[in-house]
Every structure is written in C-alpha cells, then in structure tokens.
Structure 1
Amino acid sequence: MTIKGFNKLKKELKKLKIFKRPQIINAISEARKLGDLKENAEYHAAREEQSFCESRIRCIEVKLSQAQVINIKKILYRNLVIFGSTITVLQICTDNVFTYTIVGDDEANFKKKSISIYSPLARGLIGKKRGDKVEIQTPSGLIKYIIIKIEYI
C-alpha cells in the first residue's frame, strides 16, 4: 500500500469513529423513542447503517494493521516500473497517451488514473524501462504500448 492510500484509510477510519458512529447511535436512540420497534422503519434503517459502519471500521482496522506501506521515494530501483510508480505510456495503435499510477487493490481507481498492481496492464509494465515496448493481452485483443516516462512521486 502506498503512503497516500494508508493515510486515506486512516482518515476514513477517524471519520467513521468520531462522526458517523455517534450520529448512528443518536439516530437509534431517537428511533427508539418513537415506539414499537418491530414496525419502526427508522430504527431498522439506523441499525442497518450501524451494522454497515461497524463492518467498515473492522475492515479498515484489519487492513491498516496488516498493511505494508511502501514509500516510493525511498526505493532504489530507478528507471524501472515498480509498485507506486507513475507511468506515461503511448498506445501504439491509437497514438493516445495515458498516465497511470500502480497501486494496491484498495487504492485502485481507474477514473483517478490509479491501476491495481494485479491488473494486466500493471503486470505487463512492472520491471520495464523507459522506451520499452510492452504487449498487453486484454479481452479485446493484444494492445501494444511504449513506455514514455516513469516517475516516482
């Protein structure tokens, strides 16, 4: 996991524990005051939200406790594509240029240009150098890329 991903999870955990959890407890308390709990939709909705929140808290705590945080700036593998590096590639068949950061599964977000280390593209890029041609097998066929730039940010 990158430092950025680790800090994002810590921030979410803090938000859930300090803000969300007390809001839910308050909602359950208010719903109890409305009467019969068997037919109280507000109560059941608040309990369901509490269950989701507690589950998410446990999940984040486990991830944080087992995380191996990698500081890309301290790694000596320069000029190679590695976990955490940001890569700019040229798709040969379309002449389109794409920039991606290789991150862990929890951090991957294609809309934010972060791809999972386990994605076919990342697996094909790992260990390559600037200027290398890479062929990636995708469901739509073989796609060829040239690595234009590798950054460690």
Structure 2
Amino acid sequence: MAKEYKLSPARFKELQEELVYLKTVREKEVADQIKEARSFGDLSENSEYDEAKNEQGKLYSRMAEVENILQNCVVIEEAYDENSNTVRLGSRITVLDKEYNEEEVYEVVGSQEADPMNGRISEDSPFGKALLGKSIGEEVVVEAPVGTLRYQIVNVQKA
C-alpha cells in the first residue's frame, strides 16, 4: 500500500503548479539542452551531453515523486472548531518548555510541509505524535535523542 500524504490545500496547489511547470517549461528546457549537446559531436566524450542527460534523470525523478504525492494525498480541509482546545493537524500550538521555562510556537503539519527550523512540525515526528489529541493545560512528554523533553500546552488555535 502506498504511503498516504496529508497536505494543506495550499501545499496541494503548490505541488500541482510545480508539476505543470516541470512537464511544460522545464522538460522543454532539458530537451533543448540535450539537443544542443548532441550537436557537439561524439557522445562518448561529451560532458555537456552527460550533464544534460543527468539533468533529465533528475527532472523525471522529481516529476514521478510529485505525481506519487498527488495521487496518494489527502487534502486536510476539516471543519475547524474555533473553540476547540485539542491539538490536531493544522493547529498552531504555544507550548511552555518546562526545562527552560520558555514559550515556543509550533504548527502541526503533514510530512510534506514540515520545516522544523521554522516551527512547522510533522505529525509523523515524535513531537508531533506526542502533541496530537492533547488539550490546553496538558503536559506533553517527548522521548528524544538528548533525553526526555517536557512541555505544557499553553494555547491551541487554527493555523
């Protein structure tokens, strides 16, 4: 069974646009590079041709990857209760780091949208899994390589 990807409507649209770009503009550019490189003569010693073929391989690989994601995705557009205090996909959470007594803000997103350096935590990550289903005031315990981390949920809102 194929992996199921959870995407926001915005990310779904971005991937659709990327696929259209790859199949139209980028594929033609790479084909032109190959055509130009062929005109340089002997293909066995033609580094431009090798580079163009490598680029074509990368392009087709990315196209296949994006198509796979789009074919196996679920667009998350569930009705969001503004009064809900429960963490779910698409929630923006403010947590209190118990060790350093500092507040941090995270957004729980699908794995394709994760960007931990910018506070976008994958629902598949240990931290994301620990947060899901919890409510304001609850303590979250995360087992990490550096040890056990403890957070308290301070606020939950729609992202």
Is TM more than 0.5 here? yes
How far is the alpha carbon of 1:4 from its aligned partner? 2.3
Q: Tell me which amino acid in the other structure corresponds to 1:136.
A: V
2:61 is matched with which residue? 55
Residue ranges of structure 2 left out of the alignment (5+ in a row): 1-6
C-alpha root-mean-square deviation of aligned residues, in Å?
Answer: 1.5
Structure 1 residue 16 corresponds to structure 2 residue 22: yes
Question: In the aligned structure 1, how far is the partner of 2:94 from the partner of 2:138?
Answer: 12
Name which of 22, 31, 55 aligns with 1:25.
31
Higher strand proportion (structure 1 or 2): 2
User: 1:63-83 deviations in whole A, cap 9, x for unaligned?
Assistant: 1112110015x1449210011
Once residues 115 and 86 of structure 1 are traced to their aligned partners in structure 2, the CA distance between those partners, rounded to angstroms, is: 10
Q: How far apart, CA to CA, are the structure 2 residues paired with 1:20 and 1:112?
A: 29
Kept after mapping to 1: 8 A contact 2:94/2:103: yes
Question: How far did residue 20 of structure 1 move?
Answer: 1.4
Q: What corresponds to 2:10 in structure 1?
A: 4
CA contact (8 A) 2:80 2:158 kept: no
* Runs of 4+ displaced beyond 3 Å: none
Over 3 Å counting, the alpha-carbon distance change for 1:22 and 1:109 in structure 2 is same
Aligned-residue identity in percent: 34
The answer to whether the aligner puts 1:110 opposite 2:134 as a matched pair is: no
Give, in angstroms, the shift of residue 25 of structure 1.
0.6
The alignment of Structure 1 onto Structure 2 pairs a total of residues equal to 152
2:128 maps to 1:147: no
| Deviation for aligned residue 1:146 | 1.0
Give the corresponding residue for 1:135: 141
Alignment gaps of 5+ in structure 1: none
SS at match of 1:98: strand
CA offset at residue 3 of structure 1? Answer: 1.4
